[in-house]
Amino acid sequence: MRLTLGQKITFVIAGAIIVALPAWVIGGTYLKDRNAALALSRSWTIEGPPCPALSAAAFQNRGFKAPKSVDYSGVVVSRQFGHITCSALRYGQAWGLSEYVVCQFTGPNVIKVETRKGEWYFAPGMGQPATISTPHDEARCVRASNFTLNPRR
pLDDT digits (tens, 9 = 90+) for 18-34: 776 776 666 666 667 77
pTM of this prediction?
Answer: 0.76
DSSP letters, 29-46, are HHHHHHHHHHHHHHHH--
pLDDT digits (tens, 9 = 90+) for 97-125: 788 999 999 999 999 999 999 999 999 99
- Nearest residue to 131 (alpha-carbon basis) of 79, 64, 54, 71: 79
